[in-house]
Chain A
Amino acid sequence: MAIYDVKPAQPAPVNHHGVFHWLRVNLFKDVKNAILSLLCIYLLYLTVPPLLDWLFFSATWSGSQDEVTKDGARWIFIIEKFDQFIYGFYPEHLHWRPLFVAALTVAFIASVKLLKSIKLKIAIILLYPFVSIIFIYGGFGLEVVETDKWGGLMLTVIVAAVGIIASFPIGIMLALGRQADNMPVVKTLCITFIEFVRGVPLITILFMASVVLPLFFRDGLDFDKLLRALIGITLFQAAYIAEVVRGGLQAIPKGQYEASESLGLSYWQGMILIILPQALKISIPNLVGSFISLFKDTTLVLIIGLFDILAMVTLTNSDTNWLGYEVEGYVFVTFIYWVFCFSMSQYSKSVERRFNTELK
């Protein structure tokens, strides 16, 4: 009878692990892939080192204008004009007020997430916009800052925030109206509004709001410019929110509607307690998506003469001491927008993934 020894386990073949294996599978699988990979590497070699050099290594980070290097970014411009990029013409001694509102927003989000009592939550949600507006605009003993002094990132965030908050209830009403099959008149009105707004570019709506809207009111000639833009953006965004919410409403099984009816709930009770919570939950990723578009679209207000952060690039460059710094300005603003939008889209993806696990 033969006796077999236990043989020691052999290491995996060299060509099945390690860097070279990875390279071969992922970059040099065949001739076509090898050529493409080499092309990509060459492209990266051409673009990345000079870009990094311009952005960081040769850049001027501090000092005065005389010390700037020729082939690097001159970030001293951004540092010099930083306040203007963030606050616009908001008076310097009052800069703490927008900052305070930003801190308040963080506290607001935290409290809505942490607090258990529904009544307290609703009270906070209703109070928050008013407190914020008072702190930014003034009144109640605070010095009033007119809206034409608002600008920069502050204005961008305000336009986006007001746009999303104000358009949300309108959007939900429009979505419900569009779904109301037993009320053809209401349905037609909602469809007309939604499709009209979605069919035209935002810029025409902004023109409408800035030129035509004042004609609609008595003594409308001195209508606040920012308010006009906000009305336009809110109506525009409401139509898009309505479509997103409608998608959510349609995804709710019919049994849920019937169940809420058979419980004897009225239309509004059924909607608020049963249907909308579910519909809004599944539309969160799309809502975030539409908020990202709105955030990007806020740049359009510069066309009707408001000074958002993008308009600040041209404005700060009209300072005779600081001419010709457009590139740095645009890169800085691009960076800000990118960070905002990218983090929001990552958040929406993570929400989507969380919901997906339920389906898998």
Chain B
Amino acid sequence: MSKPAEPVGGISFLNNPKVRAIVFQVLALACVFFVAAYFTNNMFDNIEARGIETGFTFLDQIAGFGISQTLVEYDDGSSTYARVFLIGILNTLLVSAIAIFFTTILGLLIGIGRLSGNFLIAKLSMIYIEVFRNIPILLQILFWYNVVLAALPSPRQSYSYFDEFFLNNRGFLMPKPIFEDNSGYILAAFILACVGVFFLARWAIKRHDDTGEEFPIFSVGGAIIILSPILVFFIAGQPISSEVPELKGFNFRGGWVIIPELLALAFALSIYTATYIAEAVRAGIESVPKGQKEAAHSLGLKDHVILRKIILPQALRVIIPPVINQYLNLVKNSSLATAIGYPEIVTLFSGTTLNQVGQAIEIILMTMAVYLAFSIVISLLLNWLNAKMQIKGR
């Protein structure tokens, strides 16, 4: 705000905006302080009256309940609540990562399809967006879980694909890779290939800057990253085998099991978030002025070069920020898993742990802190990207 010029003789004390600002702020602070003090005072009285403990010592106690999906070691009888907290975070990250992967692909396809010259594809993409974006995500999760997945057959009648993948009402089963002695070489080869491609890319960019010569970095780099681990796999004598799930009695044994809760949640989150990503992609592509494409054509560039060097760099600048925001929304929406009992942070911690321990304030604040941490990390990432993608030279 601009500074008002002082009238002759000065402003009266009460009308001085600076004095007013200070008085108002002191009042606001006093108000907040008073309310906070009142609440905390009541809170401690209530906690004492109910005999609830305070502090974080409960984290060292033994949890003693079963969890249907654990990424790190967990034992009903001896693992602590701190371990439960960790498992919750990991499960949240797992379902978010899976859903983000699929929603990006789906959203990209639908968003491009929305702009397609093909009438049917454009209309179908539009119908997809309008249908799934206007249905609450919780309703979609419950629908997939209670209707679609519940209708799957029992393990004995499960759908089988190539006799290695099975789908039934206990989840989706697939072969589990077993890493033998020499499998470390494959990982090493993969990491080496990544590092090599990184330096290759730097060299290619430098050469392009100096001489203008192009190097097909995407195809060559992709080939190196994919082929070298495969090559090492055969050289090292095929050290990875797979354990196929087998039907024993009434259930399957062995293999990797994806529990139905995870399936329903990942499915619903991907489908729902894809509608927003599709709209972001469409808006981004539409934001590139038509003249850019025409100018590139008149310079004699080929279609794929125009897409890669003219359209995409400008469109991505518009697409990426909203898409990353959608990723954050997806992570937050994964908390709805508590409605179907997928063991993520809210279900395990704000649900089961809270019921057992009863220390509502500590537990809910810890849960919120986890999501706040995700938010902060993602907004830092976003700021970094925005700074990096600013149009330079203006």
List residues of A whose CB falls within 8 A of some B CB: 26-27, 29, 33, 36-37, 40-41, 43-44, 181-186, 189, 195-196, 198-204, 207-208, 211-212, 214-218, 220-221, 257-258, 261, 292, 296-297, 299-300, 302-303, 310, 313, 326-327, 330, 333-334, 337-338, 341-342, 345
Contacts and interface: CB of A to CB of B under 8 A. Distances in A.
A37 B120 contact: yes
B130 interface: yes
A186 B375 contact: no
A201 B371 contact: yes
Nearest 6 Cβ contacts at the A-B interface: A199-B375, A341-B134, A26-B119, A296-B136, A201-B332, A201-B335
A201 B4 contact: no
A337 B367 contact: no
Contact of A330 (B1, B147, B339): B147
Interface residues of B, number: 54
Interface string B129-146: 011011111110011001
Given A36-B118, A186-B25, A212-B360, A218 B42 contact: yes
Contact of B134 (A186, A218, A261, A337): A337
Given A201-B371, A337-B134, A33 B117 contact: yes
Interface string B284-312: 00000000000000000000000000000
A343 to B, nearest CB: 9
B139 A204 contact: no
Contacts of A184: 25
B47 interface: yes
B39 interface: yes
B346 A334 contact: no
Contacts of A185: 25, 28-29
B146 A330 contact: yes
28 contacts: A26-B118, A26-B120, A36-B118, A36-B120, A182-B1, A183-B21, A183-B28, A185-B28, A186-B24, A189-B32, A200-B375, A201-B346, A201-B371, A203-B346, A207-B346, A215-B361, A216-B42, A216-B43, A217-B42, A220-B42, A220-B46, A261-B1, A292-B134, A296-B134, A299-B139, A330-B139, A337-B135, A337-B139
A288 to B, nearest CB: 13
B336 interface: yes
Given A218-B42, A338-B134, A40 B29 contact: no
Contact of A183 (B24, B124, B336): B24
Contacts of B42: 215-218, 220
A339 to B, nearest CB: 9
B227 interface: no
Nearest to A333: B139
A200 B92 CA distance: 14
A248 to B, nearest CB: 18
B326 interface: no
A181 B3 CA distance: 12
